Structure 1
Amino acid sequence: MNETLPMQLARLDLDRTKGYKELLDFYHGQQWTGRERRGERRLIFNYAKVFIDKMTSYLVSGIHFDVAAAEDSEAARGKARQAEEALYGVYEGNNLEQVDLETEVDCAILGDACYKVIWDAVEKKVRVTAPDVQGIY
């Protein structure tokens, strides 16, 4: 067998990726099986989408960081404040409010979600992205 590694992984992961497609279809309102007959009207009350969208918006709203000082001293409290500022900087610099919302929606629909956190050596800062889990093996 002369398959490349990505081809082997895709073949081994067919059930998972098929499941993702079914879950995404359901979320997007494609909940009927089979083709529609002439004159047939199919109603869709997509409570799954409404529930997921509403709950994820509540879940990720109002993010707050609270770093406790390692000891009861002014120096330790100063380091804790610096750590909080760094966290807020990463959060704002990577638009994590939007990334979190998209990732939470993916997780609610698919049951899987992923963040990729790297150090950008050129910009000298933390980069956070949310890759599509359908392409992660």
Structure 2
Amino acid sequence: PKVQIPSGSLLVTCIGADMGKTVINANDCIPNQQINAIILTDDNVQISYLFHVLTAMRDTLRRQGELGGGTMPLINKSDFSKIVVPVPSLDKQARIVAILDKFDALTHSLTEGLPREIELRQKQYEYYRDLLLSFPKPEAAAA
């Protein structure tokens, strides 16, 4: 049966190369069987906190999925539902989320902005290199 997942829920891939990738969905959606959905009903857990915890657990999820011995890592809904996540107080969750969101923003800024900055520095280097190494031609120096 197709179940509509409300916006603001967590979606976690459960098979293949992207296994363990976690997102908070921006819109209502109907995921396929390769995605596990988490709809929070407990006010003691912030969705952003759970997002960061599961993102940090991606390698663990992948290793668990590889235990099945298949050609592709897979974690079924039953095994996925047994995952235990530490749940600190809401204040501590909020502090953790604030710190990790800040680092996430810096990281994305670096990954998006850094290649452009490197390209600009490369052009600057080439400009000054060419300027410094552009000696007068012998016939121009003799004239």
Tell me, yes or no, whether TM beats 0.5.
no
Q: TM-score, normalised by structure 2?
A: 0.25
Rg larger in structure:
2
Q: TM-score, normalised by structure 1?
A: 0.25
